[in-house]
């Protein structure tokens, strides 16, 4: 069984979806959830699914303490699912092509520092885009610049609100993120 570690900073709907998907899988399973937010809803979601959680500070992330904990687990894949801090170089170097992230737009458009969540959806609506989508990509030292693993687009009518765009993106994330992870593990 392949081991997956999930990093999340917020509500954890994608993390929980991945946990549940792999609970029924023979390929792998989520063995830990790491978060930098002690009040994140992802902690409760992980506990409800009997997945151990690690809460850490930004300092611990960048001083190597988180890398030590990851090394104890020896994951086959590290999945960023709504993790908002820039991922540190020491972890990226230790796990080349084994760290992926999901982005709520079709990269390279609407990527980079500060482009996450509703910031992305508002920009898409303001720019009257005809489509948007999700990008699953490898993590490197720059925000949203790692190699693209998968993209899926969804058409926009032009009358969507940022919240409506967010709903469309969430549906794509829920459907495709676990499938792409499974494909990478096989």
**CA separation (Å) from 139 to 72, 162, 166?**
21, 26, 23
Catalytic center residues? 103
Tokens of 48: 């409800």
Alpha helices of 63-161 — where are they, by DSSP H?
A: 65-73, 89-94, 117-126
Q: Give the separation between CA 77 and CA 32, rounded to whole angstroms.
A: 11
Beta strands in 81-181 (DSSP E): 99-103, 131-138, 148-155
């Amino acid at each position: 069984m392949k081991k997956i570690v999930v990093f999340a900073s917020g509500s954890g709907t994608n993390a929980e979806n991945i946990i549940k998907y792999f609970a029924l899988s023979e390929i792998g399973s989520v063995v830990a959830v790491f978060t930098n937010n002690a009040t994140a809803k992802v902690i409760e979601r992980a506990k409800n699914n009997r997945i151990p959680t690690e809460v850490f500070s930004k300092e611990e992330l960048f001083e190597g303490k988180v890398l030590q904990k990851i090394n104890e687990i020896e994951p086959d894949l590290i999945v960023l699912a709504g993790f908002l801090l820039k991922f540190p170089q020491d972890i990226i170097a230790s796990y080349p092509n084994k760290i992926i992230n999901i982005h709520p737009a079709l990269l390279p458009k609407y990527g980079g520092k500060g482009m996450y969540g509703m910031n992305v959806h508002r920009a898409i609506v303001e720019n009257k885009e005809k489509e948007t989508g999700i990008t699953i990509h490898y993590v490197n030292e720059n925000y949203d610049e790692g190699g693209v693993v998968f993209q899926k687009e969804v058409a926009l009518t032009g009358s969507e609100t940022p919240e409506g765009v967010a709903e469309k993106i969430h549906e794509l994330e829920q459907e495709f993120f676990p499938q792409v992870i499974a494909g990478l593990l096989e």
